[in-house]
Amino acid sequence: MSSTTRITSPSPLDRLKIAIVTETYPPEINGVANTMRHFAEGMAERGHGIQLVRPRQPADPRRPEGTETLDLHLVPGLPIPGYRGLRFGLPVYWRLRRLWHRSAPDLVYIATQGPLGHAALSAARALAIPTVTGFHTHFQQYSQHYGLGALTHQIEGTLRHFHNRSDTTLVPTADLRDSLANEGFENLHVFGRGVDVTRFSPDWRSDALRRSWGCSENDLVALYVGRIAAEKNLALALAGFRAIQRQCPSARFVLVGDGPERAHLQQEHPDLIFAGARVGDELAAHYASGDLFLFPSLTETFGNVVTEAMASALPVIAFDYAAAHAHVSSGINGVTVPIEAGPDFVAACLDCVGDRERLRRMGFEARRAALKIGWDRVLGRVEEQLFAVIHRRRVKAESCHASLATTPE
């Protein structure tokens, strides 16, 4: 490139080609898959070309539903132990390098840190394509619940090395950004999370569904939505519900989701209602048909279920971090308690059900708060971050070429 060639910065009117690499995507059910769907579809609606790279699922049709507007590339994968229905992508470095050499995207967004994510980062760097990584999962915290606690620091170091090789890492909250910065993670920016306030709404409340749970309109339903697994701290949710039940014997606890702990919990607690995994209209109806959302997890990077519950007019009881810290005003639209303060969590459960009118008011305020965090606003800020990454890379390249052009021979 000659010294007179000028590299222009992208403007908001530009349309990008964005490659999204993720080991999970709908119809898989988890927070990362949900966020990636909103990201991919939202960016496509904003006029950007989206290439989606993800592992092929055994039941995948030739063109999986919901990907019609995307340039889809399915790669080989293997099952993830302990995560039924999920697969990690194989490290197809050369396949990605050939794909992006033929038609380079303007930017690669890598959502997961499995073998596929590592291969994608290396391929993009080899081709000098700007890269953004997403910090979506607390792998170092999960390790403590699966007999890998001794490897926590090693896992943290691997994650730090991975993310620091990208141009920018996007995280869901400012608190997590600050925490990771203290651990040596670099170039961190916030990619907040939105919520679909049409999909999740009190309008989906179903008297028929509540009757199927054995509840009248006046009976209290506590709800949990998420993976039924050790890292979700469900023993505390059970303790909170049992305290509620002693005060309100007709109360019911509905758990929506699946996971390795479901069979054991179902056997130990036959009076609980295990609804299994739900999606779409069914999931919306389950949220809206509850009265109180219990969320005791301490391993979230964000916790999309918190904002989905709020949009459904459910007050949330949770620890004061991640989504709850960002969006729950304690005592107004839910209750937050100090991290790891289990007795406070149980006390909050009891306090909420002691005044049912207050519970309804908090649900109303939860819905009002959720209306302010729609996906369109969130994606607008992410779009600005992507343009900024490309701009910084182009300015850096322009500076390097200018230096080479002025270096004496």
Q: What angle do CA 157, 163, 164 make, to 5 degrees?
A: 85
Mean pLDDT in order along the chain per 10 residues (409 residues):
38 80 90 93 95 85 68 89 73 97 97 94 97 76 40 71 96 91 95 94 98 95 95 96 96 96 96 96 98 95 95 98 95 96 96 90 98 91 94 82 60
Nearest to 364 by CA among 318, 328, 311: 311
- 3-class DSSP state of 379: helix
Distance of alpha carbon 49 from alpha carbon 44, whole angstroms: 6
Q: How many CB atoms are located within 10 Å of the residue 217 CB?
A: 9
Element (H or E) spanning 314, and its range? none
For 223, what's the count of Cα atoms within 13 Å in the CB-facing half-sphere? 30
Instruction: Report pLDDT for 68.
Output: 73
pLDDT tens digits, 379-394: 999 999 999 999 998 8
Q: What is the spatial distance between Cα 319 and Cα 34, in angstroms, rounded to a whole number?
A: 22
Q: The whole model's pTM is what?
A: 0.84
- Name every residue whose Cβ is closer than 8 Å to that of residue 91 and which is 6 or more positions away in sequence: 115, 116, 118, 119
Q: What is the H or E stretch that residue 43 is in?
A: helix 31-45
- pLDDT tens-digit readout, 72-85: 999 998 887 766 66
The pLDDT value given to residue 142: 39
Give CA separation, 58 vs 37, 61, 77, 141, in Å.
20, 9, 9, 29
Tell me what pLDDT residue 215 has.
95
Supply the pLDDT for residue 233: 95
pLDDT at 84: 63
Domains of the chain in start order, with CATH, are 17-194+375-406 (3.40.50.2000), 202-370 (3.40.50.2000)
Write the single-letter amino acid at 226.
G
